[in-house]
Structure 1
Amino acid sequence: MFRLHNAPPANSDTELLVIFQGGQLISDMRSHAACLITGEQFVRDGWTERRRHFLGYWGNEPCYVLEIDAGDQLDPLQYQKGSLYHILGRVDEQLFALAGRASQLLDWERDHQFCGRCGQPMTIDLQERAMRCSPCAVINYPRISPCVIVLVTRGDELLLARNANFPQPLYSTLAGFIEAGETAEDTLRREVREEVGIEIDNLRYFNSQSWPFPSQLMLGFFADYAGGDIECDTHEIVDAQWFKHNELPMIPPSASISGQLIQHYVQSIS
């Protein structure tokens, strides 16, 4: 449904918009597409455009992300504001990815108004999706932070942990950012060892997911338990346990790659 493209059309009679106000996504409660708002709606409601980026095509219609003025009024009977978490699981995967891309592009432009090398203003190159500094030729592309996420298993048991930032009683798979010079496999072994004190082997790639909180690319893996006892890093992990596949705690939804890892494994051994 979504076709990525950097160059906007020369002209178009219609357009679809992903709209943010004050960093929050605006959703149309009367629309099944939720976060896609038509150009006609935008004009009708009299909102003030502050920033705009072309995203690509949703079907055959050009799609843009807009930031509107903080003072614009929203009809509370039609629109609601919230983080991207509010639409996670409520819209299909491609639409969620589109909204995530929209959010990341706005953040990227905001954070690269000036060159980090010489301090001069940056300009947008729409053909290449880059911010350029003319005086010193620095180029900044939208930032993506690669992360690994892993479901460690031991027969019919799954290792799940509760992060210090999770709402109780949610348990999930282990994850961490890839550091400079590391492979994804290096990071998996290091993160699991640091967070819960065990060793893993037989790493198998599962899938990936763009995760716009704020700009991660999650690389999902399965791994087998290879030894050691659980010793939680109490700064990040407040609890970690082995759970039987048929006695799981509250886990993330299937809209997240963590939920997909768990559900895929449970179905494979059930």
Structure 2
Amino acid sequence: MCWTTDVFTPAPNPPADLDKSETIWVPVRSGTVFVEPGGGLVRDQVAPVEAPKLFLGVLDETAVYAIDLHDTSDEGDLEPVHLRKLFGRIPDEEWVVAGRAEQIVNYERTHVFCGRCGTRTETNSHDRGKVCPNCKHMAFPRLSPAMIVLVEKDDQALLAWGRQFPGRFFSTLAGFVEPGESLEQAVEREVMEEVGLKVDEIKYFGSQPWPFPHSLMCGFHCNYVSGEIEIQEEEIIEAGWFHANDLPPCPVGGMSIAGWLIKDWLERQGVH
């Protein structure tokens, strides 16, 4: 299981032979995407607002540009929708492109100056790299790999209510990968840290870009080996083992890989 689209080709520069009769515009500002009122992404030959534009790639033979609205209040007649709430309102491949727009705009705004010496950076002509003309330091769009895992024990699954959820809502365990460790090692460490359990048979499930603001979620299933649940109170309010027919409020399917992991487990339990 993974998030794929075979109709979008990312590129730093538009191809010379690209049809310019229509363009997809993705205006963004701090996680909010501006779309056609009640509709999808803006498709027009002319940009809907005057602001910095960044080429993203080609979606189904149509050029796609992000528009950075951070320094302007001009939104035209467009409707602001947070990227999370945009899921399901537009085709999946367009949502992925909208997420990419948010990430690239964030990258451009946070890499204006060299992180080593403070000199204004220059953009490479052949990729999205930023190079410092003074010290030659290179920077690229930031990606933060994170593991997300569903722990299984016989016919039960481990779900946890994390402190990031305002209401009583459970999900799978997740955490960022530390320098020097593999994804599988991150799974073992995070499960032990968050709930005090030892696991094995760690099996890769799939991945999902998560543009809030620049994570790459790598999903796994694994099996319980030993231990009693002892929650990391700084991160988790409650955790427990649940049968397929007695789940707490949690994602099933939907927009996130957490929901996909749970849905896959339910299907293997014979629940559809």
TM-score, normalization: structure 1?
A: 0.91
1:8 is matched with 14
How far residue 29 of structure 1 moved from its aligned partner, in angstroms, is 3.4
Q: Is the 8 A contact 2:209 2:217 kept in 1?
A: yes
Matches within 5 A, 1:196-235: 196-235=195-234
Which moves more between the two structures, 125-134 or 168-177? Answer: 125-134
Q: Cα distance 1:201–1:22, how it changes in 2: closer, same or farther (>3 A)? A: closer
Q: Is the 8 A contact 1:9 1:62 kept in 2?
A: no
Matches within 5 A, 1:30-109: 30-31=38-39, 34=40, 36-40=41-45, 42-43=47-48, 47-49=49-51, 51-68=52-69, 69-75=71-77, 79-109=78-108
2:190 is matched with 191
Amino acid at match of 1:72: D
2:3 is matched with none
SS of aligned partner of 1:116: coil
Which moves more between the two structures, 63-72 or 87-96? Answer: 87-96
CA-to-partner distance for each residue in 1:57-106, whole Å, 9 max, x for gaps? 1111110100135321443xxx3313211112333332222111111100
Q: Cα distance 1:9–1:262, how it changes in 2: closer, same or farther (>3 A)? A: same
How far residue 127 of structure 1 moved from its aligned partner, in angstroms, is 1.7
Q: Is the 8 A contact 2:161 2:169 kept in 1?
A: yes
> Is residue 130 of structure 1 aligned with residue 132 of structure 2?
no
Of residues 10, 14, 20, the one that matches 2:28 is: 20
Q: Cα distance 1:257–1:54, how it changes in 2: closer, same or farther (>3 A)? A: same
CA distance in 2, matches of 1:107, 1:262: 31
Q: Cα distance 1:54–1:249, how it changes in 2: closer, same or farther (>3 A)? A: same
CA distance in 1, matches of 2:76, 2:13: 30
Q: Cα distance 1:29–1:243, how it changes in 2: closer, same or farther (>3 A)? A: farther
1:263 is matched with 263
Amino acid at match of 1:143: R
Amino acid at match of 1:56: G
How far residue 52 of structure 1 moved from its aligned partner, in angstroms, is 1.4
Q: Cα distance 1:72–1:218, how it changes in 2: closer, same or farther (>3 A)? A: same
Q: Percent identity?
A: 37
Structure 1: tracts of 5 or more residues without a match: none
RMSD: 1.7
How far residue 237 of structure 1 moved from its aligned partner, in angstroms, is 0.5
Q: Cα distance 1:170–1:19, how it changes in 2: closer, same or farther (>3 A)? A: same
CA distance in 2, matches of 1:204, 1:252: 21
CA distance in 2, matches of 1:6, 1:227: 49
How far residue 169 of structure 1 moved from its aligned partner, in angstroms, is 2.2
Amino acid at match of 1:269: Q
How far residue 249 of structure 1 moved from its aligned partner, in angstroms, is 1.5
1:143 is matched with 142
Q: How many residues align?
A: 260
CA distance in 2, matches of 1:196, 1:18: 41
